[in-house]
Amino acid sequence: MSSSLPTLFILAIAVALGFVGWFTTPKGPNQTLIRTSVLLTLACCYLMWTVTYLAQVHPLESPKRAAMEE
């Protein structure tokens, strides 16, 4: 059965990726930029995906369409 739990699972992965990104960013003039970008990208992409996923877990509507005439 569908459940909302995968969002938490993916969240854990996103957070882990965030940590990896934070610590693997090479030192240099662009360190802050890269770290910020990685974290924000993960956050944005995760949010968008979660919202899309959650909206479909327990749908209130079912898709309808006119039957094709054969």
Partner 1 sequence: MGDEYSTLFRSEQMSLVQLIVPTEVAHDTIAELGELGNVQFKDLNPDVNPFQRSFVGEVRRIDEMARRVRFFANEIEKEKDLIPIRPLYDSAPLVTVGPRAAQTIDELDVKLAEHEARMSQMNKSYKDLSDRLKELIEARHVLRETAVFFDRAAARETEVRPSLDDSSAPLLQHDDREHQYSAAGDVQLDLEFVAGTIDRTRLSTFERVLWRMLRGNLYMNYIDIQEPFVDPETGVETRKNVFIIFAHGDMLLSRIRKVASSMGATIYPIDANADKRADSMREVTARLEDLQIVLYNTGTNRRTELMTIAESLASWQDVVAKEKLIYETLNLLNYDVRRKTLIAEGWCPTRDIAQIQLALRHATEESGTNVPPILHELRTNRTPPTYIRTNKFTEGFQTIMDAYGIATYQEVNPGLYAVITFPFLFAVMFGDIGHGFIIFFAALLMIMFEKKLAKADQGEIFGTFFFGRYIILLMGVFSMYTGFLYNDIFSKTTHFFHSGWTWPEQHGNGTITAASNGHTYPFGLDPAWHGAENGLLFTNSYKMKMSIVLGVIHMTFAVCLQVPNHIRFNRLSDIYANFIPQMIFLQSIFGYLVVCIIYKWTIDWSKASTQPPSLLNMLIGMVLSPGSVDPDSQLYRGQATVQVILLLMAAVCVPWLLITKPYLQYKEMQKTHGQGYIGLGADEGPRTAEDVTLEGEEEGNGRAIVEANDEEHEQHDFSEVVVHQVIHTIEFCLGCVSHTASYLRLWALSLAHAQLSEVLWDMTIANVLGMTGLIGLVAKAVVGVLWLTMTIGILCIMEGLSAFLHALRLHWVEANSKHYEAGGYSFAPLSFARLNEKQ
Binding stretches for partner 1 (CB under 8 A) = 1-2, 4, 6, 27-33, 36-37, 40-41, 44-45, 47-49, 51-70
Closest separation between CB of residue 42 and partner 1, Å?
Answer: 10
The pair of structure tokens assigned to 50 is 């979660």
Q: 23 vs 60, which CB is nearer to partner 1?
A: 60
Report CA-CA distances (Å) from 69 to 9, 62, 64, 65: 44, 21, 15, 12
Q: 23 vs 70, which CB is nearer to partner 1?
A: 70
